Chains A and B, each alone.
Chain A
Amino acid sequence: MVQIDTSVASGIKKIAEQVAAISSFHGYQDTAYYLPISYAISGSGIDSQQAAEQVFAAAHQSPLIGAEILLASRGVREGPPYTGFIEDAVIRKLGYTLVDGSILGLALVVGNAASADYAAAICRELQEKLMLTFLSGGVITSLTDAGVRVGLDLRLVPLGKDSLAAVHFADILARVAMMFGGVVAGDAHRLVAYASERAKAFVIAFPGMTDEEVAFIDALRVLGIPILHMGGYEGHDWVQAGPTDIVRIGMEMRGIRVQVTSIPIPMACSPAFEGKAIRKEEMYAEFGGTRSPAFELLRVRDSSEVTDGKVIIIGPEIDTIPKKSAAPLGIIVEVAGKAMKKEFEPVLERRIHNFINYGEGSWHSAQRDQIWVRVSEDAVSQGLRITDLGKLLAAKFRMDFPTLLDAVQVTMITDREQVLILQKEAESIYSERDERIAGMKDEDVTLYYSCTLCQTFAPNHVCVLTPERPALCGALTWLDGKTAYEMSPSGANQPIEKGTLINDEAGEYEGVNRFVRQASHGEIERCVLYSIMDAPMTCCGCFEAVAMILPETNGIMIVSREYKGDTPSGMTFSTLAGTIGGGAQTPGFIGISKGYLLSDRFIQAEGGLSRIVWMPLVVKEELETRLRAKMESAGLSGLYEKIADETVATDIEGLLTFLTSVDHPALSMAPLL
């Protein structure tokens, strides 16, 4: 057992002694970077023994610099298969593959492998996982003796058998940082930042290293490079792991993820099929859609509980499910990832809908325990199984969220008993989630989120998402905006600092105004969050409903997308939508989600729900229970009955007569105009 402490101390001393004893200096050929590690750290190009001594002294005898000087001064060329010092032109190509993603990271395997089998298996795994692996020391002979082919083009690079050949690993890293990372020689801070954040590297150390080597390898930790071993070392945060785990753990520590590129199922899978429905005649079987119990659930788990790509089926496969029948189905997607958070669950869960629809022979509708899934007869005859839907989900989640998810495991349940039991559990999780956002108030947060997704067709539109005001399309809440930002920090959802409060009642903030002004390219000066009259939010075109003033009634009417008929305003939904959409700010008109009607903040500036004088029956009925509860708690009982719909009136005169007859509160509120 090597105590790293003692070994490092002795190594540092030995390196210093040997540097002091150098009799003649040798540099490297074919490089513009002198001794690259020393050059990157100190900014001085070492080209003489004197310079070497000075730089080494100035760097407080750093083993990184000392070892580099020692190795270079030996001036030994080991010859094939050993690469020794690799020239700049080749490093440029290596760096290229690192930037363009053809290789995912760098590994150094060093020491003397007791068993060539372990070393070979580790190197094969590194190759398969698209790592560029460097070898130094005795391990190379073990590998070549065992018949493993090594070479630059095999991504298994034998640096040298010299115990300090590992130095070349660091001189490559230093040059990649200077060539590709904009690191200026002498800027050690930038070098460390680049090495630890961008150049994803780790070391696997076998036993049998000299003290000098241990000192050098240990010093790599300064560059954020973790050192893993399978036993034989103790101390200094060197990480011990088993031979079958060591590569995975190293890659995880550096956040390196293997990309999934193809999905091994007997069904085409592409967004092109997303809009394709499966009609009853084409269907083999269906699940849910009120004809059988079905649900879907996505949960975050600890990485130890999730095996990437694993698909489990509980219950009968498709071939034992009767044709044209409605069978039970539970879809449970379990994900793990360092950056994954519980709050992301609903956003990701929503993607199950897209992904299943990507399948040419699979179709999905609705969400949670309302889902309705069909598979086509065609697809089943070509070999599609329920397990394949699981594989599809596991692969698509990994492909679409490569930085968020490290592992995705899917369980498909077709056993009725199990579906019913697990659905109960899922339902309690759904309500927990609803409560999480339901309880949130705008004043509880300092950041709101923007959504500018619709700027593609409404160039100056900016949605502001607050806990109490979902996006006007109804598809995104504040939490979703937050999540989207964390998943894609340069995307269409950005945080908005609320800044100084200007008007509490109307919901006007300096920070929101500043953001909207900038994000609307200077078009919109102010955005008052809870007002319909004073600088209301812009409208893209996706709103679920429109709220607009009816000046004659001193109130507002609501009309939703699904209502095609006439309204007291004299305009249908589509006419209205065409008038106020496109990113314009139109006082008196706002695009809203239906959910906003249930918010305490709903046009708070103008008096809230009491202003509503008309809405189509379809909305009234959809929201009835929740609207009544809201009105009750706001002391507005009886208001629900006072709101007219198309069965009462579709013209202003009729509406006014009705409002007067029920004494609608809007009639006596402060004038809107």
Chain B
Amino acid sequence: MTISYSPGWTASIREVVIGATAAEGGTRRISYRIGGESDLPCIGSGRKPLIAFEICDDPALWPDVIRSACTKLVDNPPAWAAYVDTTLQADLIRLNLTSTRRRNFDAYDAVSKTVIAVLQATSLPLIIEGSADADIDSEVFQRCGEAGEKEKLVLGTAEAARYRSVAAAAIAYGHSVIAQSPIDVNLAKQLNILLREAGVPDDRILIDPYTGALGYGFEYTYSTMERIRFAALKGDGDLAMPMICAPSDTLTIKEVRAAVHSHETAVSWEVATAVAAALAGATILVVRHPGSLAPLRTAIDSLWKEEVA
């Protein structure tokens, strides 16, 4: 039996380059060209999603289950990064500068130092999550951008109410931007337009549709991602950006918190949400639990065969 499939897509997802090798002016051992898909996930010749592992520079705000899984590493971002690179073999590392969440934070030089130290500890491309507070955004993102100049980082996270500093750092130092909107296709589009107006080129924007935890609103995320992908494939250039999903909410839901010593619960929840996000069209999946990497890799490898004819 043959299934007739002619969806009538007229456009494709824009490509974004992450990381710069020596030949490209940076120091990474690899760089990725993501996006480019011209159909739905797992149909046609779309690229496999990449897996990013997220670490932080101040574990006080990190989920208990991860602190217990990563033990001493959590106090040493460079060592943690090296472990993720060589042992876990993630495709990318996301460094979340949780230290900036502390009250009255002003250790801006420490931000530069941390970013540089992690860049030296791993040669994987990096995603940097800067501050989450408009009052210190300007200082923090300037440091992140400068410390990673020429490395083609991905900087996060731009939101409609505070995107200028992230945008400025991306423009000034040649990085890309994560644009997050609260599970809403129109707001995602509007933020992309705002970023463009600020001067960020379209091929340096990733959409973060916001990833609800499975069982806690993920279905909204899924549906929004589908709609973003449909709109992009139908020719809406304002939404034709690759998507990044971080199911970090899964680690703070009550089932996982209750089972703090059962890493299986955390891993299952994180992997199940990440796989669903991949099927909805995510190009980068960000996980935090070291146990999530292998099963997620297996799932993706089984879903994305080299060529689906």
Which residues of A does B touch, CB under 8 Å? 92-93, 95-102, 179-182, 198, 452, 455-456, 459, 490-492, 521-522
Contacts and interface: CB of A to CB of B under 8 A. Distances in A.
Nearest to B201: A182
B116 interface: no
Interface in B158-194: 164-165, 167-169, 171-173, 184-187, 190, 193-194
B292 interface: no
Contact of B172 (A96, A101, A198, A455): A96
Given A96-B142, A96-B172, A99-B168, A459 B185 contact: yes
5 contacts: A92-B172, A99-B168, A180-B168, A182-B199, A521-B227
Contacts of B199: 99, 180-182, 198
A180 B171 contact: yes
Contacts of B259: none
Contact of B190 (A92, A95, A490): A490
Which secondary structure characterizes the binding site on chain B?
A: helix
A101 B198 CA distance: 10
B230 A99 contact: no
A181 B201 CA distance: 10
A182 B201 CA distance: 9
Which secondary structure characterizes the binding site on chain A?
A: loop
Contact of A101 (B145, B164, B171, B227): B164
Contacts of B98: none
A490 B142 contact: no
Contacts of A99: 164, 167-168, 171-172, 198-199
Contact of B193 (A97, A452, A490): A490
Given A99-B198, A181-B199, A182-B201, A93 B142 contact: yes
Given A99-B168, A182-B199, 18 more contacts: A92-B146, A92-B172, A92-B173, A95-B172, A96-B168, A98-B168, A99-B167, A100-B138, A101-B164, A179-B171, A182-B201, A456-B184, A459-B185, A490-B190, A491-B190, A521-B230, A521-B231, A522-B234
B164 A100 contact: yes
Contacts of B141: 100
B90 to A, nearest CB: 30
B155 to A, nearest CB: 12
9 closest A-B pairs by beta carbon, nearest first, are A99-B168, A100-B168, A100-B165, A100-B164, A490-B193, A96-B172, A96-B168, A101-B164, A102-B138
B137 interface: yes
Contacts of A490: 190, 193-194, 197
A456 B188 CA distance: 11
Contacts of A456: 184, 186-187
Contacts, number: 69
Interface string B218-239: 0000010001001100100000
A516 to B, nearest CB: 15
A100 B194 CA distance: 12
A391 B126 CA distance: 47
Interface in B223-269: 223, 227, 230-231, 234
A100 B138 CA distance: 7
B186 A179 contact: no
Interface of B: 137-138, 141-142, 145-146, 164-165, 167-169, 171-173, 184-187, 190, 193-194, 197-199, 201, 223, 227, 230-231, 234
A96 B169 contact: yes
Contacts of B230: 521-522
A492 B189 CA distance: 11
A460 to B, nearest CB: 9
Contacts of B173: 92
A9 B89 CA distance: 69
Contacts of B137: 100
A506 to B, nearest CB: 28
Nearest to B193: A490
Nearest to A102: B138
A457 to B, nearest CB: 10
A324 B184 CA distance: 45
Contacts of A98: 168
Contacts of A182: 199, 201
B105 to A, nearest CB: 17
Contacts of A198: 199
A282 to B, nearest CB: 32
- Of B172, B185, B194, the most chain A CB neighbours within 10 A belong to B172
A511 B205 CA distance: 31
B290 to A, nearest CB: 36
B4 to A, nearest CB: 19
A96 B140 CA distance: 12
B137 to A, nearest CB: 7
A451 to B, nearest CB: 11
B172 A452 contact: no
B193 A179 contact: no
Nearest to B145: A96
Given A100-B137, A490-B193, A521-B227, A455 B168 contact: no
Nearest to A194: B199
Contacts of A96: 142, 145, 168-169, 171-172
B227 A459 contact: yes
A182 B172 CA distance: 11
Contacts of B227: 459, 521
Contacts of B171: 95-96, 99, 179-180
Contacts of A521: 227, 230-231, 234
Contacts of B223: 459
Given A92-B172, A180-B199, A521-B231, A100 B167 contact: yes
- Of A101, A181, A492, the most chain B CB neighbours within 10 A belong to A101
Contacts of B164: 99-101
A522 B231 CA distance: 9
A492 B231 CA distance: 16
A198 B168 CA distance: 14
Nearest to B234: A522
A97 B186 contact: no
A101 B169 CA distance: 12
A198 B197 CA distance: 10
- Of A93, A455, A490, the most chain B CB neighbours within 10 A belong to A490
A513 B40 CA distance: 27
Nearest to B169: A96
B96 to A, nearest CB: 21
A358 B167 CA distance: 31
Contacts of A92: 146, 172-173
